[in-house]
Amino acid sequence: MRMRNVVKLAGAIALLAPSVLVPAALMPASAVAASSETYRQLNLFGDVFERVRSDYVEEVPDNKMIEAAINGMLSSLDPHSSYMNAKNYGDMQVQTRGEFGGLGIEVTMENGLVKVVTPIDDTPAARAGIKTGDFIVALDGTQVMGMTLSEAVDKMRGPVDSKIVLTLARPGVEQPFDVSLNRAVIRIRSVRARREGDVAYVRITSFNEQTESNLEQSLDRLSKEIGADKLQGLVLDLRNNPGGLLDQAVAVSDAFLDQGEIVSTRGRHAEDTTRYSAQRGELLPGKPVIVLINGGSASASEIVAGALQDHRRATILGTRSFGKGSVQTIIPIQGQGALRLTTARYYTPAGRSIQAKGIDADIDVRQTEAEAETTAPSMVRSEASLPNHLRGEGEGEEQSVPLAAEDIPEDQAKDRQLAYALDLLRGVNVTGTTSN
């Protein structure tokens, strides 16, 4: 196994400096006014808190109100900042290790409803036919409207083999409908690989702690199975991959690059810039690579696609990616949970911001002829269309454009994007739309 120096991100710990009292006379007038207004607003919060505490029709636990207030503050910033209580923080740590209990579904919040980003392969959600773009409107008959994302996710988790009924609203389907599922232990196989004749096909469904090692093992197996001299190339499928760990995205990119920058992150201040670079050595030196992306490819997936595209190491094929180019730092709070706070933006090696823009495919290929010919709104939207999303650099309202439907056909013979990629690697004449 090739060794690399990959910086692994640990949770940042907030360190509070001792308070230093500064006489008001020594502070600028603007600072004094700002401080006074801040304390006035905090007093307002305290007044409202006490009034609810004493006069609301039913008694509400203090911790529940405070947690709701924190979530309200963070959700007003952008869709990806949130507070995790101790239980949810523990669940997140388990999930990044690649094993957790639940339904096997990646979700986000949109317009007060839980929206399916993608069902995870071979899980109860995938087997029940839940699709990207579905909205979960009720859980066991309880309306989702009014819940936080954390509350909804917590309700979807539970003991293995226990039952839950999801009420779904699906674009194009007139009435909401129920889907009954049994919870299971979800073991994430983030890398799936198979031989497509003389081409290696590898699909990465998420970026967890096992992704890099699983990728190396899969490519080693396929190279031996096909024969290194007969291997025509690799199709790296990142479609509907919602992302995951930054260090794993860097490691996967590094597997196909011999040198150069992979990605940089830039925060609020100039000194908050971090750059990640490739180490010497590749897994498939000299072999052509095609990366498949679509509107469900987000975050870490976009880092890989952007790095390989900028270095011209791979051809990017499919449709424009989701555009989630922001960095979330996990800040543990001692004795409580953790804060998930958006702290920076991702930039490709060429200096392109991913946020609210995404990665455009070099060759635009839609799954159906109808998708290729229509510009009508569809079920899957980009980061730029999420309420309160972090603005991309130079973003205008005209960029909030719906993407094409993102279902990947279960019948591989009907997967036009994959077929196109395989033909391209084998030198078959194909036609498509090339992006500039």
Q: Where are the domains of the chain?
A: 99-186, 189-434
CATH of domain 189-434: 3.90.226.10
Task: Give the residue numbers annotated as catalytic, written as ranges.
Answer: 299, 310, 324
Tell whether the model's pLDDT for residue 434 goes beyond 60.
no
Given this model, what pLDDT does residue 185 score?
85
Helices vs strands, H then E, count in the chain = 10, 20
Task: Mention every residue, 6+ apart, whose C-beta is less than 8 A from residue 61.
Answer: none
Name the pTM for this structure. Answer: 0.72
Contact 305, 297 (CB under 8 A): yes
User: Has residue 398 got a pLDDT over 70?
Assistant: no
Instruction: Give the H or E element holding residue 332.
Output: strand 326-332
Question: Taking the CB of residue 158, how many other CB atoms lie within 10 A of it?
Answer: 14
Task: Please check whether residue 148 is in contact with residue 75, taking contact to mean a CB–CB distance below 8 angstroms.
Answer: yes
Instruction: Report in angstroms the alpha-carbon separations of 20 from 16, 217, 359.
Output: 12, 55, 47
Angle at 112 between CA 174 and CA 386, to 5 degrees: 95
Phi and psi angles of residue 139, each rounded to the nearest 5 degrees, phi first: -125, 115
Segment holding 217, helix H or strand E: helix 211-226
pLDDT digits (tens, 9 = 90+) for 169-203: 999 999 999 999 999 987 777 899 999 999 999 99
420: number of Cβ within 10 Å: 21
Q: Which residues lie below 8 Å from residue 208, measured CB to CB, with a gap of 6+?
A: 95, 96, 97, 98, 188, 190, 244, 245, 248
Query: Looking at residue 396, what is its pLDDT?
Result: 62
Per-residue model confidence as pLDDT tens digits over 374-387: 444 444 568 887 87
Per-residue pLDDT at 419: 95
Query: 84 and 337 in contact (C-beta within 8 Å)?
Result: yes
Residue 217 pLDDT greater than 60, yes or no: yes
Residues 6+ apart with CB under 8 A from 144: 112, 113, 114, 136, 137, 138, 152
| Residue 330 CB-half CA count within 13 A | 19
Torsion angle (degrees, nearest 10) of CA 266, 272, 273, 276: -100
Tallying the residues shown for the chain, one arrives at 436
The fold of the 99-186 domain, in CATH, is Pdz3 Domain (2.30.42)
Q: Is the pLDDT of residue 372 over 80?
A: no
Stretch among 111-115, 129-133, 277-281 having the lowest mean pLDDT: 111-115
- For residues 330 and 401, which has the higher predicted lDDT (pLDDT)? 330
Matching residue, tokens 């860097």:
250
Question: 235: helix, coil or strand?
Answer: strand
Per-residue DSSP letter, 410: S
Q: For residue 425, what pLDDT is reported?
A: 95
Residue 290's H or E segment, with its range, is strand 289-293
CB atoms within 10 A of CB 347: 22
**Most confident stretch, 281-295, 359-373, 398-412:** 281-295
CA dist 57 and 53 (Å) reads 10
Identity of residue 288: P
Q: Phi first, then psi: what are they for 186, rounded to 5°? A: -95, 110
Given this model, what pLDDT does residue 23 score?
52
Q: How confident is the model at residue 34 (pLDDT cuts 50, 70, 90)?
A: low
Read off the pLDDT of residues 104-130 as tens digits, 9 standing for 90 and up. Answer: 888 888 888 899 988 877 889 999 999
Among 30-39, 120-129, 154-163, 241-250, name the one with the lowest average pLDDT: 30-39
Ranking 26-30, 272-276, 333-337, 408-412 by mean pLDDT, the lowest is: 26-30
Percent of the chain clearing pLDDT 70 (strictly above):
83
Distances (CA, A) of 240 to 46, 243, 389: 44, 9, 20
Supply the angle between the helices 211-226 and 246-254 in degrees, to the nearest 10.
30
Using the predicted structure, report yes or no on whether residue 158 has a pLDDT greater than 70: yes
- pLDDT per position as a tens digit, 334-355: 888 999 999 999 999 999 999 9
